[in-house]
């Protein structure tokens, strides 16, 4: 190989390889420090596009999971109220039995009635409870809230304002949904004594005041005021029993919806895990392989720098010929 002065192809070649090795070394450092195989779009344009779509789906699934959990919490709080209503109803039944004791005088019965009427006000107050500002119990069956309704276990969705939809997939409104209802607590506590032993329950349309309800054989265990509350002697034992059965039906419906939401939550959680794993297989760096690659390019970069120095020393040989 001739010795030249104007050009140094060996140094130029070594410089080229040094630049390329340094670029590869920097890429390995970026991947290891970020934990991602795709640091820049040119690393894997197609993989980056797929990853962005997967990340969007994962984000939607996380939001869906939170919404489902909130719905479950709503139903749990609602069921807690139903449970307490059942306890109050049991106490009312006990008061009814105590008031029928022939050894009790009128003063004793007045005391029972005071508690009985106060419990009715408490039941009404419980029907006004909210969850994060959203009412848990429906007071009316129509969208305009102009009518009351008796309980009908065959028709829980009596009005558009009583139903809320929980979407249980990443597709949002285009995907499946679970409907949860504002409980018909006041309706469940309103009994038509003329049909209390049958499966058919009429709607108390227009019967808004206590006197009119009584005239139409309509009895409610929830009263807005103490003065409008009914007395123990106005209620038969069968009416108490039917009200308890209504509450039990509401709890059963609530439990069924809650069970479905829990399975929906499990399904969304499983989907989220699978999508995270799929995304990881695309973007996550293989630490072992990348560490090996880093060591490789560290050695090559050092070797390239050494070869540049070696190539430059050839120029000194040319100068020695002039001595």
- Residue range 193-223, pLDDT digits in tens: 654 433 333 333 333 444 444 445 667 788 8
Output 237 or 278, whichever has higher pLDDT: 278
Burial class (CB in 10 A: 0-12, 13-18, 19+), 43: middle
| Token pair in block for residue 275 | 């999508």
What's the confidence (pLDDT) of residue 157? 43
Q: What's the CA gap between 242 and 193, in Å, rounded?
A: 10
Would you place residue 142 in the very low, low, confident or very high pLDDT band (cuts 50, 70, 90)? very low
What's the confidence (pLDDT) of residue 146? 40
Would you place residue 86 in the very low, low, confident or very high pLDDT band (cuts 50, 70, 90)? very high
Backbone angles phi, psi at 129, to 5 degrees: -65, 150
Directed axis angle between helix 287-320 and helix 9-34, to 10°?
160
Residue with tokens 């005041």: 209
Beta bridge partners of 220: 190
Count the Cβ atoms, other than its own, within 10 Å of residue 161: 16
Q: Is the pLDDT of residue 68 over 80?
A: yes
Q: What's the CA gap between 267 and 260, in Å, rounded?
A: 11
Q: Is the pLDDT of residue 258 over 60?
A: yes
What's the confidence (pLDDT) of residue 79? 94
What's the confidence (pLDDT) of residue 231? 86
Percent of the chain with pLDDT over 90: 29
Full-model pTM: 0.73
Q: Are 159 and 142 in contact (CB under 8 A)?
A: yes
- The DSSP code sequence of 214-246 is HHTTEEES--SSSTTPPPGGG--HHHHHHHHHH
For residue 164, the 8-state DSSP code is E
């Amino acid at each position: 190989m001739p010795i030249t002065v104007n050009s140094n192809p060996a140094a130029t070649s070594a410089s080229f390889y040094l630049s390329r090795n340094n670029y590869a070394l920097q890429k390995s450092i970026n991947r290891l420090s970020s934990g991602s195989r795709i640091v820049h779009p040119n690393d894997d344009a197609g993989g980056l596009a797929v990853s962005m779509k997967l990340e969007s789906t994962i984000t939607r699934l996380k939001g869906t999971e939170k919404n489902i959990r909130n719905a479950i919490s709503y139903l749990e709080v609602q069921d807690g109220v139903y449970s307490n209503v059942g306890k109050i109803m049991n106490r009312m039944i006990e008061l009814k039995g105590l008031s029928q004791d022939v050894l009790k005088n009128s003063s004793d019965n007045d005391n029972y009635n005071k508690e009985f009427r106060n419990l009715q006000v408490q039941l009404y107050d419980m029907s006004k409870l909210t969850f994060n500002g959203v009412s848990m119990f429906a007071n009316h069956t129509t969208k305009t809230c102009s009518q009351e309704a008796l309980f009908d276990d065959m028709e829980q969705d009596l009005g558009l304002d009583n139903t809320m939809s929980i979407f249980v997939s990443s597709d949002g409104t285009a995907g499946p949904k679970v409907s949860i209802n504002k409980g018909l607590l006041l309706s469940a506590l309103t009994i038509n004594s003329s049909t209390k032993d049958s499966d058919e329950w009429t709607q108390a349309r227009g019967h808004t005041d206590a006197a009119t309800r009584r005239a139409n054989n309509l009895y409610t265990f929830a009263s807005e005021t103490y003065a409008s509350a009914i007395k123990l002697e106005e209620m038969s034992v069968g009416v108490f029993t039917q009200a308890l059965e209504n509450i039990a039906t509401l709890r059963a419906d609530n439990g069924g919806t809650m069970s479905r939401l829990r399975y929906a939550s499990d399904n969304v959680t499983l989907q989220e895990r699978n999508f995270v794993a799929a995304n990881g297989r695309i973007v996550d760096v293989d630490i072992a392989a990348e560490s090996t690659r880093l060591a490789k390019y560290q050695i090559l970069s050092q070797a390239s720098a050494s070869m540049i120095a070696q190539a430059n020393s050839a120029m000194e040989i040319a100068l020695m010929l002039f001595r």
